[in-house]
Structure 1
Amino acid sequence: MQKIYLDYNASTPLAPEVVASMQPLLNDFYGNPSALHWAGKPVKELLHKAREQTAALIGCSPREIIFTSGGSEANNLALKGYFYKNRKKGNHIITSKVEHPAIINPCKFLEEAGARVTYVGVDRFGRVLLEEIEKAITKDTILISIMHSNNEVGTLQPIKEIGRMAERYGIAFHTDASQSVGKVPIDVNELKVGMLTIAGHKLYAPKGIGVLYVKEGIELEPLIHGAGHEFGLRAGTENTLLAVGLGKACEIARNHVENSKIKELTDYFWGQLKEAFGDEIVLNGHPEERLPNTLNVCFVNKIGQSLLDRIPNLAASTGSACHAGRIELSPVLKEMQVPEEVGMGAIRFSLGRFTTKAEIDQVIDSLIEIL
């Protein structure tokens, strides 16, 4: 079998247009964007354009876009930055048990710094329960952070409803949309979020670049202190090269209509798997409210990693990439109460812009052969 990549949720290849947009900065545009001379001004213009392109994708002002080194830094800035700046108002944070480690671990760090964190559970589809969030709210609650979509099973969370609830109680609301941006429509005003995370390498942009959207009026303590870059929220000379790449990726995502094709391929893939394996295969995550590219399935009484080891030319995952190499049941599947004999056989297939039907058919044939 030829090499097939079905791990787009872990990382995407660079789009050719993104590579082309970055090329001039490797040769001609080398000035510091803060410099006022001929070498700095054009670089500052490129940085501003990237900010505009990113803002247009999620429906906000360019001044509300803070470039970071990736999704993890953006999440840390949202959680730690908000807590340290607003801790006089209260010390309580609400999040979910199925968040990415880039949310869970900063929350655990903040607990050691005096925060009180409530981790709400999910239903069998991996969706948080609105009543649990509302029940957890106290007079000391200052922040709610719930992921827009789950990186392992693809389940979309009821973000708009949580946003309305947070607004009603006067609580700041952050969502990690690293897996969602570019795959499903995102409008920060419609969702009523005050902060939102983007990770470039999930969006056909380079690794090492991300964004935290910060609604005007929200105050954060910077993680990195120094000069007043990124509107005073992230010191350090801007990485214009990668920001330009992310801006172009956002522009492509805004104008691209490929997601319906990807969803059709994902549905076809699931249909073929179900036809081939019947009751020996189980779908994880919500059957409808799910990312269009994500297919997390369990092969009953099998070990997912063992199956992948027998198809070495297939790039897929037994969970999020951050858990790769671990055979124990995924924490997300545990919270969804998936039985161990089922969950051990989990494989996450995540499709993307360059996936073809022929590749899906090859994977199906290989799975039939080894099973």
Structure 2
Amino acid sequence: MIRKKINTVKTDPKMSASVAVSGGAVVRQSYLATGSWYPDRTLVPIVLVPVIGYTDPSTGKAVENAASELTDGHWYRLDRDTATTGISASTEITNGMPGQDSNGGAITLYDIDTTAGSATYGKLTVRENVAHDNPVTYVFVATHAASGRKVMASFGTSTQLIEIVPEICFDNNALGLYNPLKGERHYTLNPFLNPSSYPVKWSWLSYHEGKWGALGSTAYDWAVTKSGDGIKIDRSVMQDTLCLKCVAEVSLEEAVVTLEREVTHTRRMPKFEFDITRVGMLQPGTTDISPYALLRTGREVLSDVSEFKIGWYGSGSSEIAAGQNPRIRLSALGSASDLGLDVKDRGGWKLLLTADGGKYLTTADGRPIIAR
């Protein structure tokens, strides 16, 4: 009998290797000349996942994710200064390597999934901002345990420099003052970018009770409405002060940058004077008087006094009449026959609340009720 050994030729698996970005994160950073990165990797890290697959020609087996079959995985960081050094101990990234955020605070620069058998073995979380003049390449090297084959995949990151950063401008004063005696009822404020070549989405916030919220989301915004990209203020019913914020989401190349600028509008009554007129020596038998409150700002006598609270007093401290030209009984003045006048600015409008302060009052159609 003659025997002959029959050998089967074994073909090594065909390996494929790449790096995927988890979560659809923005890959390319932008660096603004003001000193900010978008996105800031120290706050919004980028997650790199090695994608290792293979096909075994001998068995026809195909594996799209062979992460659990990998071992001896290592990450390396190569940039302009270490490109010639290549893959070595000096360029290796270690799990938990310390670093600093953009404000100088301590952070962990890199987290690596080193758990053997993990479906995300080798996953790298990067909290590093890349300098605009020094691109970085992250290289992953591991061994496929079953075949002993080495696999390698790399991922490059870079940053674009944006030297001209747009700013929010307005077509009217952002620190507005309202003179209730002479000011126009309506005040408009429209934003624009300088330079104006970038796509932008505008929104507005208002500040009430210690927090910012979307304009129109609270009953306290009764005096302000959106008008196109800007706002319109009905100053005749405004509070003493309005605090607003204009927000611009600006598309700068691949980055979306959020710019903000605050706006305040303040009701401010000018200095005024007042005096008692139309009273004098009384004839015997007079029982009533009709004094007149004369109000002026500078040399101008005011005819419209609706912005003022006018109170009249006798010898005591209690108000006995109100209004610019009331009719007052002489007996109300007291034994001393003293007539007093006090005029105050009525101030801005306020929202009426229930007695416990928990709810605001509204009209039948749901509009807030205001008073002063």
- Regarding TM over 0.5, the answer is no
Q: Identify which of structures 1 and 2 has the higher relative contact order when contacts are C-alpha pairs closer than 8 Å and 6+ apart.
A: 1
TM-score (norm 1): 0.18
Task: Point out the structure with max Rg over C-alpha.
Answer: 2
More helix by share: 1
TM-score (norm 2): 0.18
